[in-house]
Amino acid sequence: MLVLIISGVLFTACGQVAVDSVPVEEKKVVEQDAAKTEEKKVSEKEVVSAVYADGTYEISGDYLSPAGAEKVGFKLVVKGDVVQDLVVTPKAENKASQQYQGLFVKGVNKLVVGKKISDIGPLPAVNGSSLTPKGFDDALAKLKVEAAK
């Protein structure tokens, strides 16, 4: 076993520190260093804890189109902070908005399903629909509040 003595503190190859015969001032330094090392180990570990409660959430998102206020509905299944499934329910009243919501429906799942909630948004234009994603972003903000643990 390798033994190294520095300033009255005994270090062994095992990483153990013998402080029984060390002056009180040096004991405090060793104890503080050990505490800092332990804090660092804890902070470096990946802490796996869900921020959002698992469940199915039905939320409506609002956005403003050139024709006025529009809504779009979402049903999201969340498990372990990850969106497992997404169903979009178009609710637009204006004909152009209906078309854009239809385009959005066809492309949004690949941007959302399988992703952590914290990694989603703001969404870019989806299949040429640039305003419907704002409705999704609004709904996601509501989900984050509703599902927060």
The β-bridge relationship of strands 55-65 and 68-79 is antiparallel
Report yes or no: 114 and 83 within 8 Å, Cβ to Cβ: yes
Angstrom distance (rounded) from CA 131 to CA 85: 22
pLDDT of residue 14: 47
Is the model's pTM score more than 0.95? no
Give the pLDDT mean for 84-89. 97
Is residue 23 over pLDDT 80? no
Q: Identify any residues that bridge with 5 across adjacent strands, giving them in sequence order.
A: 10
SS3 of residue 6 by DSSP? strand
CATH topology of domain 55-147: Sufe protein. Chain: A (3.90.1010)
**Chain region(s) in the chain for CATH 3.90.1010.10:** 55-147
Instruction: Spell out the alpha helix ranges (H) of 12-131.
Output: 24-44, 95-107, 109-112
